[in-house]
Amino acid sequence: MTTLLLLVPMALVALLQLVAAIGMPGEARAHDLEIPAYLLSWILYAVGFIGAVASIALARGPLALVVPLVVVTAAAVVAGPLVWGHAIGEFHLAHHLVRAVLLVVVLVFYFWYVALHR
């Protein structure tokens, strides 16, 4: 049971990505953005969600598949807010640095789980 808790941070990443992807169209309308202006960031949030869920499902899978999946997921999780911030004209470096540090913690827990089940 304790090792399962190591996957909870990745589940939270998936949940946050899903919430952002669902809420983005409404927030974009509030900023008077057309679909092309935020489509890339929406796709990155969706890729982050799908990748996080797939990472959880494949945590005990082949390492050759898990590592690239997690790298792509982490890139999407970091890039989505960067692109969104650029689209709405708000960029706060401190926010993105904190997000990156928290993502590193999530990845450490995730790969700790993966290593425990090898």
Prediction pTM value? 0.90
pLDDT band at 106 (very low <50, low <70, confident <90, very high): very high
Length reported for the chain = 118
Helix segments in the chain, DSSP class H: 2-5, 8-30, 35-57, 63-88, 93-116
Domain ranges of the chain: 2-116
Please count the other Cβ atoms lying within 10 Å of the Cβ belonging to residue 41. Answer: 24
CA dist., res. 98 & res. 38, Å (int): 23
Residues 15-49 have pLDDT tens digits of: 999 999 999 999 999 989 999 999 999 999 999 99
The end-to-end CA distance of the chain, in Å, is 17
Residue 97 has pLDDT above 90, yes or no: no
